[in-house]
Amino acid sequence: MATRLRIAVVERDRERAHQVVDALSDAGDYEISVIGDETGLARKLGALDPDLVLIDVANPSRDMLEELALASSPLDRPVAMFVDRTDDSLTAQAIEAGMSAYVVDGLHKERIKPIVDAAMARFAMVSRMRRELEATKAALAERKTIDRAKGLLMAARGIGEEEAYALLRKTAMDQGRKIGEVAAALVTAADLLK
């Protein structure tokens, strides 16, 4: 086995792939390849012959790796396997963090751990940022809807903004729904009645 580990990162999202590569470069001296297009994944990995493949567990292409694991020497031992089959907690953590690793048999855990740790930490960070962004977007959209609903109520009932908001809030509380939902229903109904 070469001294420098060959790591393949399977990730379609360029930004995310960069993050993982950066993290791995900080963690040690590795030969890293990124596969951004999963078409013919097994063939590409076969050509690269990496020691370790990192792939998001939410990626359906992971099933293609099974084929690779079987391809070379299915009878005596698998070419690729899970991080460490004796240690359920590590495996579980890897899965929990959204990253799993396939490792060539014979590779020591001590060498893999920093790689996986670094990749997982970065991956989790990117995922968190994404969730925050989505939440912000959703909040903005909801606020716009509420503003429109307020406007509709103000015009229809001749009431002020605060009163309109209070009415939305009261309706939502009475019906056990979110203000955003009540507002969206009102806006939809108003659009239909136009």
Partner 1 sequence: MIPVDAGFIALVDAAPLVMAREMGFAEEEGVDLRLHRQASWSMMRDRLAVGHLQAAQMLAPVPVAMSMGLGGLPMPLDATMLLSVNGTVIGVSPRLATRMRERGVGNDIMAAGRIGESLVAVAGERLRVGVPFPFSMHAELLYYWLGSLGLRAPEGLEVRTVPPPMMADAMGTGEIDAFCVGEPWGSIAVERGVAELVLPGCAIWRFAPEKVLAMTRAMIERDADMTRRLMRACWRAGRWLSDPAHHMTAAEILGRPAYLDLSAEIIERALSGRLVISRAGEERAAPRFIEFHRGLAQFPWRSQALWIATRIAARMGLDREEAARVARDCFRADLYRANLGPIGADMPGASEKLEGALSAETPVASSTGRLFLGPDGFFDGLIFDPAAH
Does 140 bind partner 1 (CB under 8 A)? Our answer is: no
Q: Which of 63, 110, 162, 174 binds partner 1 (CB under 8 A)?
A: 63
- Report DSSP letters for 126-194, one per residue: HHHHHHHHHHHHHHHHHHHHHHHHHHHHHHHHT--HHHHHHHHHHHHHHHT--HHHHHHHHHHHHHHH-
**Residues 89-118 within binding reach of partner 1 (CB under 8 A):** 91-92, 95-96, 100
Structure tokens at 11: 């990730």
Sequence letter at residue 191: D
193 scored as a contact of partner 1 (CB under 8 A): no
Pick one of 6, 44, 46, 82: the residue that binds partner 1 (CB under 8 A). 82
Among 45, 52, 65, 118, binds partner 1 (CB under 8 A): 65
> Which residues lie closer than 8 Å to 42 by C-beta, 6 or more apart?
64, 65, 67, 68, 71
50 binds partner 1 (CB under 8 A): no
Binding site for partner 1 (CB under 8 A): 38-40, 42, 57-67, 69-70, 74-75, 78, 82, 85, 88, 91-92, 95-96, 100
